[in-house]
Amino acid sequence: MSMQKQETTQSWSGLGVGTDRKSFLAAVSAQLPDFEAERAAEAVFCGLSELLSDGLMRQLREQLPEDLRGMLDACPRHQREGGKVDRDDFYLQVANHLNAEPENVRLVLHGVFAALRAQLTEQEAGKVEGQLPRWLQGTWAAAKLGIDRPS
């Protein structure tokens, strides 16, 4: 029996195997039809950069498709201050970045998190959850399961 050459497949398996920017943004758009997917992802990634360590942000970047990695680079709108970000400040920052109402931020987070989680290995997703503040961990976990989608 000969060994078959394994071909690289493009899938959103949650095993760190992504497709490309277009597919990622389509996954975000499917979750958030009322928002521009690219702006929603940028707003959430900018917010995450305030909450997660530089090392974990680099690891996340490495798991994204090459043409999507730039979205995780330093946000030009906000300077990372390194201080503790509270819930209200975080939600307001994401809302302002997206020009959305603060009450819509949880929906946006859920949609982008769902697409991002599908891109990451379970190990990386666990690292992210471990660094998120308690008030955001539930939204991150719910995005994996496709439950608790805010309306």
pLDDT of residue 26: 92
pLDDT of residue 29: 93
Q: Cα angle vertex 40, ends 18, 71, to 5°?
A: 50
Residues in the chain, overall count = 151
Fold of 36-145: Globin-like (1.10.490)
- The pTM (predicted TM-score) of the whole model is 0.81
pLDDT band at 15 (very low <50, low <70, confident <90, very high): very low
Could you give the CA distance from residue 22 to residue 75 in angstroms, rounded to a whole number? 20
pLDDT of residue 64: 83
Mean pLDDT of 45-56: 91
| Residue 73 scores a pLDDT above 60 | yes
Each domain of the chain, given as residue ranges in start order, spans 36-145
Q: What's the chain's average pLDDT? A: 81
pLDDT tens-digit series, residues 78-129: 555 556 788 999 999 999 999 998 889 999 999 999 999 888 888 889 999 9
